[in-house]
Amino acid sequence: MSWFLLTSRNPKVSELRLQSENNERRKQNLPPLSFFVPYQFLQRQKPDRLSPTADPHATGEHSNQIRAALHRYIFVCADEDELAATLRKPWNIAEQRLQFFHDRQGRRVTIPTDEMDVFMQACADERLNFEIFPSLDEVEIGEEVRLITTPFSGRNVKILAKRHTSKGTRLTVEVQLFNTPISVRLHDIKDEDLQYTKVDDRKQQSRDSKLVTSFQRQLIDILSRRINDKETPESRIADAATLDHIYHFHGHQFTSDPLRRRFLAMMLICAHLRHDAEATTTQLQAAQQELDLLNTRPESRAATDVRAYLHLALYLATATPQYRTAAKQYVRDNNPHSEDLRRLLSLLCRHEASKITG
């Protein structure tokens, strides 16, 4: 058994196909394939200008190429002949999504197990920033962006021309001044100097996913400190500020229903931890409505993942055991990949919700 490097034009779809393949293998009493898909750890995000660890120069063509390559990779641990037979199945031939990656000598690339272990641990470690920031290569001529720096900070401009230089990117933009369009040339522009005003659904969902994941990990950390009695006076103040900051986003709009529902679960947890009775009631009603809606629809992996988050949030807010039982059943039956979901369930299984105070 070896780890093989595969590539896919659409790693998310390929991940679902491999999950379906494993379901079929289980029905035939065959061991499932072990695979790792790193695309969710490689979402584009602009660096935090307030962070002392952010490197505003860690951008550009080289970084974008690294991210693009890693985004296409899927790692599968299997017998070589068995994996080759799997890739010859009709579902993969029809879509031509998954294929072996070859080195310059034409050999299939394999990864040592210890190296894969390090890579997977690095991806799962919340303390590591495993992101590559967006390149200005994404900006298209005619696209509208908002300037964050330069004397025109805060203004929306249209990109007329761009040229890469050793110090950044030179942009020619159209600025509206005195109700008149004026062309301005901006030198040495970096990625963090602008933000997009219009993004397609794929880009928006990538950013929304990062937002939800960041919030849920912060909330789980706060919950862990309360449950494990590891709070200090300083941490209580910091946590209160974090909860206030997170809840300011409760009206955020999403283009993805699964993300919106997972975010709703996080907002219910946040409102409960803030001891905000009115907000908790509002979020509780909304979460229950979404759960009722999900229960009327066919089962899917995305729906069940979201349902588990909603169950746990509702259990924390209401202390109703049936919600926790439903989440535990889901984890047993589906073996979800999400470490956050497993961690949240573990915390709430060790303590009664009615006893979790702050």
> Mean pLDDT over all residues of the chain?
76
Q: In the structure encoding, which two tokens stand for residue 249, read together?
A: 């986003």
CATH of residue 157: 2.30.30.30
> According to the model, what pLDDT value does residue 196 have?
63
Tokens 């490689």 label which residue?
42
Tens-digit pLDDT profile for residues 67-86: 445 667 889 998 999 999 98
Domain final position from 161, 178, 196:
196
Same domain (yes/no): 116, 141: no
Same domain (yes/no): 216, 261: yes
SS3 40: helix
For residue 284, pLDDT over 90 is answered with yes
Q: Say which residue, 303 or 149, is predicted with more confidence.
A: 149
SS3 101: coil
Mean pLDDT along residues 35-54? 52
Mean pLDDT along residues 340-345? 87
> According to the model, what pLDDT value does residue 281 have?
93
- The answer to the question of residue 345 being in a domain is yes
Q: What percent of the chain has pLDDT over 70?
A: 73
> According to the model, what pLDDT value does residue 46 have?
41
| Most confident by average pLDDT, 22-36, 53-67, 292-306, 343-357 | 22-36
Same domain (yes/no): 107, 225: no
- The answer to the question of residue 20 being in a domain is yes
Domain final position from 167, 196, 225:
196
Same domain (yes/no): 222, 186: no
> According to the model, what pLDDT value does residue 312 have?
92
Helices (H), 88-200: 90-95, 113-124
CB atoms closer than 10 angstroms to residue 305: 19
CATH of residue 13: 3.30.70
Question: What is the total count of domains within the chain?
Answer: 3
Same domain (yes/no): 17, 91: yes
SS3 126: coil
Same domain (yes/no): 27, 157: no
- The answer to the question of residue 131 being in a domain is no
Lowest mean per-residue pLDDT among 163-177, 243-257, 293-307, 311-325: 293-307
CA pseudo-torsion sign 293, 299, 304, 306: negative
> According to the model, what pLDDT value does residue 59 have?
39
* Amino acid at site 353: A
> According to the model, what pLDDT value does residue 60 have?
40
- The answer to the question of residue 130 being in a domain is no
- The answer to the question of residue 329 being in a domain is yes
> According to the model, what pLDDT value does residue 299 have?
52
> According to the model, what pLDDT value does residue 152 have?
74
SS3 2: strand
Same domain (yes/no): 302, 218: yes
- The answer to the question of residue 93 being in a domain is yes
- The answer to the question of residue 129 being in a domain is no
Domain final position from 124, 147, 163:
124
What range defines the domain where residue 322 resides? 201-355
Tens-digit pLDDT profile for residues 188-206: 787 657 666 655 555 666 7
Mean pLDDT along residues 317-321? 90
Decide if 173 contacts 163 (C-beta within 8 A). Answer: no
> According to the model, what pLDDT value does residue 268 have?
95
| Most confident by average pLDDT, 32-36, 58-62, 308-312 | 308-312
> According to the model, what pLDDT value does residue 3 have?
92
Same domain (yes/no): 347, 206: yes
Same domain (yes/no): 48, 120: yes
Decide if 167 contacts 156 (C-beta within 8 A). Answer: no
Please tell me the pTM assigned to this model.
0.47
Same domain (yes/no): 208, 189: no
- The answer to the question of residue 92 being in a domain is yes
Same domain (yes/no): 71, 95: yes
Helix (H) or strand (E) holding 8: strand 2-8
The length of the chain is 358
Tens-digit pLDDT profile for residues 120-172: 766 665 444 444 333 455 566 777 887 877 777 778 888 888 777 766 678 88
Same domain (yes/no): 258, 219: yes
SS3 146: strand
Q: Binning pLDDT at 50, 70 and 90, where does residue 310 land?
A: very high
